[in-house]
Amino acid sequence: MVSAVQAWAHDWSSQNVNAYLAAYAPDFKLPAGLTRSQWEALRTQRITRPKQIHVELQDIQVSRDDADHVTVSFTQVYHSDRLNSTDQKSLKLERNQNHWLITEEWSH
């Protein structure tokens, strides 16, 4: 599951929108008021607008909820030509066949 989260950060840094969005489960808990297509359009714009992005994950911690569900918490260091930020973030992941997909995310 850690490798899935690291791949998600790498896809974000590489501005590979399709791979980034594929990391999210079909039943991902969307921000209030958004449809999946609206959320994907917003994420696509935020990923493709900057000339470059670098996302680094630090202090990764995994909490296993059960065999198919985990919560991964970390410090997210984000740099782009438009914004620099450091946030505490958590992702809930669910095993879907042999893949871990993000079902929920939040910043602390």
**Sheet of strand 69-80: strand arrangement:** 53-66, 69-80, 84-96, 99-107
Mean pLDDT of 33-51: 96
Provide mean pLDDT across the span 18-41. Answer: 96
Over residues 73-91, the pLDDT tens digits come to 999 999 999 999 999 999 9
**Residue 22 CA to its chain's centroid (Å):** 10
CATH number for position 41: 3.10.450.50
Q: Indicate the number of domains in the chain.
A: 1
Fill in the DSSP letter of residue 85: E
Domain that includes residue 11, residue range? 2-107
The reported pTM is 0.95
In tens, the pLDDT along 53-76 reads: 999 999 999 999 999 999 999 999
Give the model's pLDDT for residue 107. 95
Q: How far apart are CA 23 and CA 4, in angstroms?
A: 8
